[in-house]
Amino acid sequence: MAADDSSEQAPSYIDYEAFLDPEFSPTAFANSLVIATNNPSDTPIDLSTPLSRVLFDIQEIDTHIHTLTTKSAIPLLTHTKEQATAGERIVSDVEAQVASLTDGYERLHKEVIQRHEEADQVRIAVERLWETVKIGRAVGRCLTMGRQLETQMAEVSGSGGVAAAKKEDHRAMVRASNTLISIRQLLSASGSGEEGEHVSRVDLITYLQNSVVGPSESSLRNRAQQIIREFSMSSLASSSNAPTTYAQSEETKSRTTSAVLTLQLLNPQLLLAALQAYLRTSLTSSLASITRALDNLSTLDRTLLEVAARCQNIVAIESLLDTTKPPQPPSPDSQGVKVQSRNLLEPLLAALDTSSLPSFFWRSLAEGLAPRVSNLMSRGGVSARALRTQKDKVRDNVRDCVLRGSQGPGGSKSASGWEREAAVMVGSVIGSLAR
């Protein structure tokens, strides 16, 4: 036994540490064997010696392994049996744990996953119910505003139900415009999560838009445009629209203010278009009437009186726009939004590129009148001779017309400061007479 121990402990000539080194390189080891068994100066290299060395080392290692396995067979088999037994015990314990985990998973699946699936279905149902409630609220709000709009439109026209016993209420136009804007804002808020989402898909809302909102907006627009078109404050010329008392004058101003605010709320461009149309109508009528009057001087005084009345109306509407501030739309997002213009006159003056509506009226009238007077004089005849004969009277009448018209209704403004406009108008008429 001692001999066996001594033989096991005998050192081996094989360098096991070199083979077990992590940095061991087979090519480097083979190269070292070839160099060690050959002379570097030899041209033919002898590979049999290093190959025999390697084979001998392999045989030695194989013999050593065989010796170790033969002597240690019983301990190896015993160790393997112990490892197999331990593995079986571990597998048995693991199977028990797996069975326990499987039972726990099934219990959790019944108590948690199935309940979660049921709860998720309930959540989906609640979300859909909430969407339905939101749509219902929005539709209810639209219908409420629609009924409010119908009532306000009845007040505007002075007809229908209780309003039949009352006269037309022009202030209801502004209230109806605000209601229209509120409905329009609700229907336009159709983004995800907004109040008006999916509301436009409801048939009742489509009916409301077609039968109430659309006709009401058209009626308000037409009514406001008509009020501006028929605006008259001057008492110089006979007109069915001209007020005769102070109360009537104030009522006309109030009604026109409501019309102006209504168009501004519906669409500021509508207001600009209506005012520009009013100015164009005054210019066209004045230009045509003065041209006819110059051809028949017996009607000149009455015609210039009518033109002065039109200018007084323009002065009145300029004063009204100057004192009217832009309305604030009924929107929660409009709070804190600064209004760019101080009043409703500034956008009109900017659109016409002028500093004053009466100045724009007289200068535009003079620009259109000059070629017509020139054409009248070039034709000659009795009218041309009469114009030349009464040139001084025509000059004075035209100048008085400009100064009187620029004063506004009842002489509310000073006539000074309009000499330049008077000179332009006189020059458009008299300039052609002197040729």
pLDDT tens digit sequence for 188-233: 887 777 777 788 888 888 999 999 999 999 999 999 999 999 999 8
pLDDT tens digit sequence for 399-429: 999 999 998 887 656 666 789 999 999 999 8
Average pLDDT rounded to a whole number, residues 272-284: 96
Cα 44 to its chain centre, rounded Å, is 92
- Four-CA torsion 345, 350, 354, 357, nearest 10 degrees: -30
Average pLDDT rounded to a whole number, residues 131-139: 89
What is the length of the chain?
435
pLDDT tens digit sequence for 15-59: 778 778 888 888 888 888 888 888 877 778 788 888 888 888 888
Q: Give the confidence band of 62 by pLDDT, cuts at 50, 70, 90.
A: confident
Q: What pLDDT, on a 0 to 100 scale, did the predictor assign at position 228?
A: 95
Find the helix packing angle between 357-379 and 345-352, rounded to 10°: 40
First to last CA, the chain: 156
Whole-angstrom distance, CA of residue 303 vs CA of residue 102: 107
Q: What pLDDT, on a 0 to 100 scale, did the predictor assign at position 285?
A: 95
Share of the chain above pLDDT 70, in %: 89
Q: What pLDDT, on a 0 to 100 scale, did the predictor assign at position 59?
A: 87
Phi, then psi, of 267 in degrees rounded to 5:
-170, 115
Cβ-contact 158, 168 below 8 angstroms: yes
pLDDT tens digit sequence for 295-309: 899 999 999 999 999
* Residues with Cβ within 8 Å of residue 190, at least 6 apart in sequence: 196, 197, 198, 199, 200
pTM given for the model: 0.70
pLDDT tens digit sequence for 315-346: 999 999 999 999 887 765 544 444 567 899 99
Cα 247 to its chain centre, rounded Å, is 45
